[in-house]
Amino acid sequence: MISLQRIFALSLAGLILWNCESKTPPMEYMPDMADSPAREAQEADSNFPNNTSLRLPPVGAVPQGYFPYEYAGWTQSLDALPNKGLANPIKGDLATLQKGEIKYQTYCSPCHGVRGQGNGTVVGPAPRLNMAQSDGSPMAALTSASAKGYSDGQIYHIITEGKGAMKSYASQVLPEDRWKIILYVRKLQEYDRTAGK
């Protein structure tokens, strides 16, 4: 007669073996499209009009976190920008100004100078590049009266679209960082105004 312990041990062993993972997928009866065929990102797929497994986004789709620039391609003068461009959405606290200074020193100071006086290392007393304005005048000083008269939106537009010899920095500087640079430029202008007295 088989003892109770032996029955228990065999049952336990059978249970363990029954729970082992199978190397092959189980048979499915009517899977109801639960398992779709997988496609690689660049794989050809003749089931779709563009013959690729990648799906095209719908017309007019905007990526998450992206906000199109309202005045992209603006060719008229800066004074003609409606409401003088966008308003600065960022408040000028110390951390914001420090981030703006870092970005300014990285992207702007080579031409506009450390203090925004248009005497950067690229265009300074011995210009390394022939970087003058299109009319032959030296690089624009951000502490000049005309630059101080620009609204934040107009400066944002210049950084985004470029002006004169300055090309667009939209691909190098994130939109949020452009606003921080503007806040830092305003501090440079304020410093210049108080230092001149």
pTM, two decimals, is 0.67
Range 80-88 average pLDDT: 88
User: Per-residue pLDDT tens for 114-141?
Assistant: 998 888 888 766 555 555 555 455 667 8
The domain ranges of the chain are 92-196
Using an 8 Å Cβ cutoff, are 34 and 44 in contact?
A: no
The Cα–Cα gap between 90 and 152 comes to 11
Q: What are the DSSP calls for 73-121, one per residue? A: T--S-GGGSGGGSPPP-S---HHHHHHHHHHHHHHTHHHH-TTSSS--T
Question: In this predicted structure, what is the pLDDT of residue 179?
Answer: 96
pLDDT class of 151 with cuts at 50, 70, 90: very high
Using an 8 Å Cβ cutoff, are 147 and 78 in contact?
A: no
- CA dihedral defined by 15, 19, 23, 24, rounded to 10 degrees? 100
Question: In this predicted structure, what is the pLDDT of residue 19?
Answer: 63
Mean pLDDT of the chain: 83
- CATH fold of 92-196: Cytochrome Bc1 Complex; Chain D, domain 2 (1.10.760)
Task: Give the list of residues 6+ apart from residue 120 with CB closer than 8 angstroms, or none.
Answer: 109, 110, 111, 112, 113, 114, 139
Exposed (0-12), middle (13-18) or buried (19+): which is 132, by Cβ within 10 Å?
A: middle
The Cα–Cα gap between 159 and 169 comes to 6
Give me the amino acid identity at 196: G
pLDDT class of 1 with cuts at 50, 70, 90: low
Give me the amino acid identity at 3: S
User: Per-residue pLDDT tens for 38-81?
Assistant: 778 788 888 888 888 888 888 888 888 888 888 988 888 888 88
